């Protein structure tokens, strides 16, 4: 798939998620009894379809290093 086509597909998926989340929030604000179930279903789908980057950033490490350098210089 072309680079532009992939970005378009990602954008459409993102916008679809935004629309669904907006709908869920409106339902929760209106005390819609099915909104909680819809939110749970959305979160389960999202977690199942989202890759988690286990390489993440250890912010504590960077803060600790920054603090160490700022106090020992």
Tell me if 17 sits within 8 A of 38, measured CB to CB: no
DSSP-derived 3-state class of residue 58: coil
Tens digits of per-residue pLDDT, 23-36? 999 998 998 888 88
Say if residue 46's pLDDT is above 70: yes
Beta strands per DSSP E along the chain: none
Count the domains in the chain.
1
| Domain span holding position 53 | 3-71
pTM of the model: 0.57
Say if residue 16's pLDDT is above 90: yes
Range 49-63 average pLDDT = 62
- For 54, list phi and psi in degrees, rounded to 5: -75, -5
As given in the structure block, the two tokens for residue 61 are 């490490």
């Amino acid at each position: 798939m072309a680079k532009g086509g992939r970005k378009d597909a990602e954008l459409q998926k993102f916008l679809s998620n935004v629309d669904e989340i907006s709908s869920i929030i409106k339902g929760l604000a209106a005390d819609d009894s099915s909104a909680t179930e819809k939110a749970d279903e959305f979160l389960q789908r999202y977690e199942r379809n989202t890759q988690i980057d286990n390489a993440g950033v250890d912010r504590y490490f960077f803060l600790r290093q920054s603090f160490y350098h700022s106090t020992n210089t």
